[in-house]
Structure 1
Amino acid sequence: MTHTPFPDRRFAACLFDMDGTLLTSILAAERVWAAWARRHGLDVDTFLPTIHGVRCEDTVRRQNLPGIDVAAEVAWVTEAEITDTEGVAPIPGAPAFLASLHPDRWAVVTSASRALATVRLAAAGLPVPAVMVTAEDVERGKPAPDGYQLAARRLGVAAEDCLVFEDAPAGIAAGEAAGAAVLVITATHSHPVASSHPVVADYQGLQIPLR
């Protein structure tokens, strides 16, 4: 069975978030961040829901921890996440869906570092795209639109003509701010999602008309 969430539109390109959208890395990410939180005396259960969809640097800074070296903390978390890929897997249907797209018509826009994004895509058996915007490429991370706008420019299209695939509130807000259409992927969600955007569980049977 196929389904087309935007039957009346054709898009110039598809812009994908990575974690929670193309692949699941929740178990690995939460293992690392839980260890980091315990090191700094944070309440793990309260802290973990705040890490998804935003840059590592932004998460560290938000804690307002006295006397820390932000760059060193980011390096610690990044190295730990690169090392821990157990449980990283593709969202159902994602490999075939990406394979159906022309390489010049899609990009990844992630809050992860380039090194981490490359490792996680490989662990999930997904290709590294020709255009990949990572944490190092923008001054403002999600929910700012910078990453999606930059990816569209690198593909030679307008962000307003793109479809953004997202799972997290910060990323959804970034896609909206970029002027793009947004499709919400819920494969990794544990609770129902209330969204003004079309919502699909995964990529199985998904059809997105491109120009």
Structure 2
Amino acid sequence: MTSLPTPRAYQAFLFDMDGTLITSTLAAERVWTRWAERHGLDVAALLSVMHGVRAVDTIRNQNLPDIDLAAEVAWVERGEIEDVDGVAPIPGAIDFVKRLPPDRWAVVTSASVPLARARLKAAGVTPPAVMITAEDVERGKPDPAGYLKAAATLGFDIADCLVFEDAEAGIKAGEAAGADVVVVTAAWTHPLQTDHPALADYADVELEVGTDGTLAFKV
């Protein structure tokens, strides 16, 4: 992992949600632990791969025989919507996004719309005008579709956008999209190796908004 480079100006910032703008790790892991135990799965193994990935993809990847995939996804989502205990903003995140021009940032999350809104509300983060969720793409992270769609919706080239991520699947999605990536480490429970610049949180970040709307920051 490297330190943040000399600031460059970007047209837009694209944020993952869980672990990047808000911390929901403990709540999510409580629900997924119950789900894994229901199916006799290795809890630790499941928790090491479910972060940053759509629920439908996590469940499908377990290759469980004779399950109702839609029903299992609904069970997990209901549990996650109901359990927001401990969900909170990453330090400095609320102020940071409040200072961003509304048309210059988006959230790209593997959560569904109801879950994303429930967690953002619990953390006190106002949803952006553009939010790409699990329902908006055919293939979830690590596929780049979500980030590409967010950039296109905002009206910018992905190469001119900066992706904020925390999980391996999301980092790979940002890379595959062709964006620069910054890795937020505040909520890590499963540290990973990455060559991307790291940002502990947003508490000491100085945001620079250009007269033309471009975005840069330094710590």
Q: TM-score, normalised by structure 2?
A: 0.91
Separation of aligned partners in 2, 1:61 and 1:128: 29
Q: Which residue of 1 aligns with 2:217?
A: none
Gaps of 5+ in 1: none
Q: Size of the alignment, in residue pairs?
A: 208
Matched to 1:73, the amino acid is E
Partner of 1:40: 39
- The CA distance in 2 between the partners of 1:129 and 1:167, in whole Å, is 19
SS of residue paired to 2:103: helix
Please report how far the alpha carbon of residue 34 of structure 1 lies from its aligned counterpart in structure 2 after TM superposition. Answer: 0.5
Which residue number corresponds to residue 138 of structure 2?
139
Contact persistence 1:186–1:193 (CA under 8 A): no
Does the Cα contact within 8 Å between 1:10 and 1:208 map onto a contact in 2? no
Describe the shift of the 1:193–1:63 C-alpha distance in structure 2 as closer, same or farther (beyond 3 A).
closer
Is the contact made by 1:184 and 1:197 (CA closer than 8 Å) also made in structure 2? yes
Aligned to 2:186, what secondary structure does the other structure show? Answer: coil
Q: TM-score, normalised by structure 1?
A: 0.95
Pair 1:113–1:40, CA change in 2 (3 A): same
Partner residue in 2 for 1:15: 14
1:162 paired to 2:133 = no
Match of 2:149 in 1: 150
- Taking structure 1 as reference, are residues 86 and 201 closer, same or farther at Cα in structure 2, changes over 3 Å only? same
Provide structure 2 residue ranges, at least 5 long, that are not aligned to the other structure: 215-219
Give matches, 1:1-211, under 5 Å.
5-190=4-189, 193-210=192-209, 211=214
Q: Residue deviations 1:111-161, cap 9 Å, x none?
A: 000110000000000011100000000001000100000000110111110
Task: State the distance in 2 between where 1:110 and 1:53 align.
Answer: 8
The letter for the 2-side match of 1:166 is E
